Structure 1
Amino acid sequence: MRAFIIVFLFLVLVACKNKEAASPVSMKDDVAVLADDTFNGRETGTTGEREAAEYIKKRFEDLGLEPKGYTGDYYQSFVFRPSANPHEEVEFTGLKSDSTTTGINVIGFLDNDAPTTVVIGAHYDHLGMGGEGSLYREGKAIHNGADDNASGVAVLLDLAKRLQNTKGQQNYLFIAFSGEEMGLLGSNYFVKNPTVDISTISYMVNMDMVGRLNAEKTLAVHGVGTSPIFKQTLFSNKGDLTIAEHESGIGPSDHTSFYLADIPVLHFFTGQHEDYHKPSDDAEKLNYEGMEAIANVIFGVISELDSKGKLEFRKTKNESEAVPDFKVTLGVVPDYLFTGKGMRIDGVSEDRPAQKAGLQKGDVVVMMGSHPVTDMMSYMKTLSMFEKGEKATVTVERDGTPMTVEVEF
């Protein structure tokens, strides 16, 4: 059935030259195709990546976007030599050899004959059969990456469809990046080798893992501090979603490449989950109604900013550099989407202090020792005060009821 869906959609996209006659393709359809086993996990440099790029190219064509890669094509290829040292940057090279890998950015352009351009991006590559970056420990298996990041590409395509039906006051450049999982390679390469005048880019919107909106409808948005207009615009278009806002323009996704080029960025994210970087990240587990709600928010933001021209850029404090050093760990996964008071636990590691003390997923830590915990940063600052072997009382709220346990670090 899944293979049939791919064949059917390709036939629709290739055969229907009249856009009005073509069957509409939904975000669910796009995810079903991109997260199918056919593409073998879309690893950069593989046949699966190239076939996924071909699908996105055909979708761009069907949506009426102009090619904006190299030499009149939708593709922007980049050749690089992978580094054996994960702490060293890869080397971009224009020459192919046995030691190099080629990635492909897919770029489409909506030309409104405007002086400024908005970049809307999402990476389409994933981990292939696993390897470095995978959290699966039972051998090789196809990592389909439905949430990471077929979901982001599907929202990108939905936004392209919506914006095609409006006469905007800005141009819109849609980029499906490759090489993100290997270190933001595609976005890094584009910023250094832009196919539009980079000085005309107003701001960049990035979607990475937007397919798992939770029951509380919490959407994390990073980069809200990178332009003074972002916060007001975001909150006026949030609908019934709860926004977990983050000021910094730095993070582990492609928006970082643009922020480092002094371009305002907004990055949308619905949080990690138990299927992250595992073969089980499949299409049927996504919240498609949630994706629709997120697309509505982003479209609202883009529409409100359409008449603003080139946005003012502001540098933000790198939140990762503000994290204090600590010698101990509680052994939990924090819930980064939690917007209440305290630090909510999203997962508990086996045989670690939290589990031994009886803490559970969903508990909200509000006190450690004599120190109140009001948010993620206060939690980390408090944790940095403890030494290995030290004992402390930890107060949590479980289903609204306070309880205290003793933890030994």
Structure 2
Amino acid sequence: MKRKQCTFASLLLLMVVAAIACGNKSNASGTEENKDKTESVNVPAFNADSAYAYVQIQANFGPRVPNTAAHRACGDYLAAKLEQLGAKVYNQYADLVAYDNTILKARNIIGAYNPDSRRRVLLFAHWDSRPYADEDKDKSKHKTPILGVNDGASGVGVLLEVARQLQRQAPAIGIDIIFFDAEDYGTPTFHKGPYKPDTWCLGSQYWGRVPHVDNYNARFGILLDMVGGKNATFYQELFSKRTAGKQVKKIWDAAHRLGFEAFFPKEDGTEVTDDHLYVYNLRKIPCVDIINYDPKCDTGFGDFWHTTDDTMDVIDKNTLMAVGQTVLEVIYNEK
């Protein structure tokens, strides 16, 4: 993804897991039960150890750069795992043109739960990793592919654990999980050629024009990007606020109910070019980008972003827990 702007302050890390239940309510007189009862919702417990293991498995393949053996092997694993976890799986293969006219053999991987339901929520992340460490302080590494553990694998790991919970306990609505490809093959900082627009998020651009199901629609979408880093903070991304303000409020309110307010400050963050932008522009589905933003570094995304340091060493189970449990809270309370 590409940053557009940034301004906000950092907060201290806090992790508390709480269970939220809505009970029946009596009227003020106490003589008659309120007819507008709210049924308790049994939200599954997110397992951060499981999510962490899914992140590690992706890292074990190495950099998942399109047109490589590691990319093909990881794609096969992700499709098979979604099927094992009870999803109806769609594989969307496409030849996509990169900024330098390289043809990328791309693959979007979609897992549908309760596919016949018209009431749907879309969850998505990108599964590829960047072919360049172009933000590395060592310029000799700029053309080195990165492992992309936080930037890519963390969001996929959280969603695989969400999928495991969906198999065990179906929510009231349909859920689609999409792993978008070729998100991180955008124009590198060292490129000297002419500017070419829309070089990031190629997989979501393709899906936006050719969805896996004709006339696909969902109530809203949630994008997870860089959701595993230590001391992460998820400020409210500005494109999300403009186009999906109601859903932003719903997600951040849920995080605060669960005690994750240090991870989810209710303050403006930055605006990024990310998969949610194209899902909204091409499918008109309001989407929220849950994305880490670090105000303490020049890039805004952490000192390890788009460098060879984006490894398992930066992943924190507390962050995975905060994001994963918040997502479960939102989707299991959707009617």
Q: TM-score, normalised by structure 2?
A: 0.70
Distance (whole Å) between structure 2 residues aligned to residue 201 and residue 81 of structure 1: 28
2:218 matched to which residue of 1? 201
2:57 is the counterpart of 1:55? no
Retained in 1: the 8 A contact 2:181–2:202?
A: yes
- AA partner of residue 218 (structure 1): T
* Paired residue secondary structure (1:35): helix
Q: Of the two structures, which has the highest relative contact order with CA contacts closer than 8 Å and spacing of 6 or more?
A: 2
- AA partner of residue 308 (structure 2): P
1:117 matched to which residue of 2? 120
Deviation (angstroms), 1:249 = 11
Deviation (angstroms), 1:200 = 2.8
Distance (whole Å) between structure 1 residues aligned to residue 54 and residue 317 of structure 2: 11
2:164 matched to which residue of 1? 161
* Structure 1 runs (4+) greater than 3 angstroms displaced: 131-136, 139-142, 244-250
* Paired residue secondary structure (2:212): coil
- AA partner of residue 209 (structure 1): M
* Paired residue secondary structure (1:237): helix
Q: Deviations over 1:216-241 (max 9, x none)?
A: x6322431443453244223311222
* Paired residue secondary structure (1:176): strand
- AA partner of residue 202 (structure 2): L
2:310 aligns with one of 265, 281, 289: 281
Distance (whole Å) between structure 1 residues aligned to residue 99 and residue 144 of structure 2: 24
Q: Deviations over 1:187-211 (max 9, x none)?
A: 1100100012445322111001011
Distance (whole Å) between structure 2 residues aligned to residue 249 and residue 263 of structure 1: 20
Retained in 1: the 8 A contact 2:49–2:317?
A: no
- AA partner of residue 220 (structure 1): Y
Distance (whole Å) between structure 2 residues aligned to residue 65 and residue 254 of structure 1: 22
2:129 is the counterpart of 1:126? yes
* Paired residue secondary structure (2:272): coil
2:90 is the counterpart of 1:77? no
1:179 aligns with one of 176, 182, 204: 182
Distance (whole Å) between structure 1 residues aligned to residue 277 and residue 269 of structure 2: 9
1:293 aligns with one of 312, 315, 322: 322
Q: Which runs of 5+ in 1 are unaligned?
A: 1-23, 69-74, 85-89, 91-98, 308-409
Distance (whole Å) between structure 2 residues aligned to residue 127 and residue 295 of structure 1: 24
Q: Deviations over 1:1-57 (max 9, x none)?
A: xxxxxxxxxxxxxxxxxxxxxxx9811111112123x43x11122222111111111
1:241 matched to which residue of 2? 260
- AA partner of residue 230 (structure 1): Q
1:229 matched to which residue of 2? 246
Q: Deviations over 1:87-114 (max 9, x none)?
A: xxx7xxxxxxxx6321111111112531
Distance (whole Å) between structure 1 residues aligned to residue 332 and residue 113 of structure 2: 14
What is the correspondence of 1:7-406 to structure 2 with a 5 Å cutoff?
26-36=50-60, 38-39=61-62, 41-68=63-90, 75-84=91-100, 100-111=103-114, 113-128=116-131, 130=132, 136-139=138-141, 141-182=144-185, 183-214=200-231, 218-222=233-237, 223-227=240-244, 229-238=246-255, 239-242=258-261, 243-245=264-266, 251-261=272-282, 262-271=284-293, 272-304=301-333, 306-307=334-335
Q: TM-score, normalised by structure 1?
A: 0.58
1:356 matched to which residue of 2? none
Q: Which runs of 5+ in 2 are unaligned?
A: 1-47, 186-199, 294-300
Report which of the two has the higher share of strand. Answer: 1
Retained in 2: the 8 A contact 1:136–1:277?
A: no
Relative to 1, partners in 2 of residues 1:246 and 1:163: Cα closer, same or farther, differing over 3 Å?
farther
Distance (whole Å) between structure 2 residues aligned to residue 258 and residue 288 of structure 1: 29
Relative to 1, partners in 2 of residues 1:184 and 1:212: Cα closer, same or farther, differing over 3 Å?
same
Deviation (angstroms), 1:213 = 4.4
Relative to 1, partners in 2 of residues 1:224 and 1:82: Cα closer, same or farther, differing over 3 Å?
closer
* Paired residue secondary structure (2:162): helix
* Paired residue secondary structure (2:235): strand
- AA partner of residue 96 (structure 2): F
- AA partner of residue 113 (structure 1): D
Deviation (angstroms), 1:137 = 1.5
Retained in 1: the 8 A contact 2:107–2:180?
A: yes
Distance (whole Å) between structure 2 residues aligned to residue 189 and residue 172 of structure 1: 20
- AA partner of residue 281 (structure 2): L
Retained in 1: the 8 A contact 2:219–2:285?
A: yes
Percent identity over the alignment is: 23
Larger Rg: 1
Relative to 1, partners in 2 of residues 1:284 and 1:172: Cα closer, same or farther, differing over 3 Å?
same
> How many residues are paired up?
259
1:376 matched to which residue of 2? none
The two structures, once aligned, show a CA RMSD in angstroms of 2.6
- AA partner of residue 233 (structure 2): T
* Paired residue secondary structure (2:140): coil
Relative to 1, partners in 2 of residues 1:285 and 1:232: Cα closer, same or farther, differing over 3 Å?
closer
